[in-house]
Structure 1
Amino acid sequence: MVTFVDRVTLHLRAGKGGNGCVSVRREKFKPLAGPDGGNGG
């Protein structure tokens, strides 16, 4: 049986990721009902 060995070299670089976003929960009688969870980014 023949055995093959493969080698791979990866060079990765990530971006900054941005500032995230802000969103608010919407309810029927409250136009701005407060934050709806999460922490952005």
Structure 2
Amino acid sequence: MIDTSPIRARCARLNLDSQDMGEGLDSLSGASNKRYER
């Protein structure tokens, strides 16, 4: 069996990073509709 906990942690970290990047890009471009959809 392959231990998937490191993969899950990495995926969670990437998910958080992508959310932070998305919010940063939204604030830069001035598009806030993505924030309201969540």
Q: Which is greater in Rg?
A: 1
Higher relative contact order (CA 8 A, sep 6+): 1
Fold match (TM-score > 0.5): no
Question: Whose helix fraction is larger, Structure 1's or Structure 2's?
Answer: 2
> Given the two structures, how large is their TM-score scaled by the length of structure 1?
0.27
> Given the two structures, how large is their TM-score scaled by the length of structure 2?
0.27
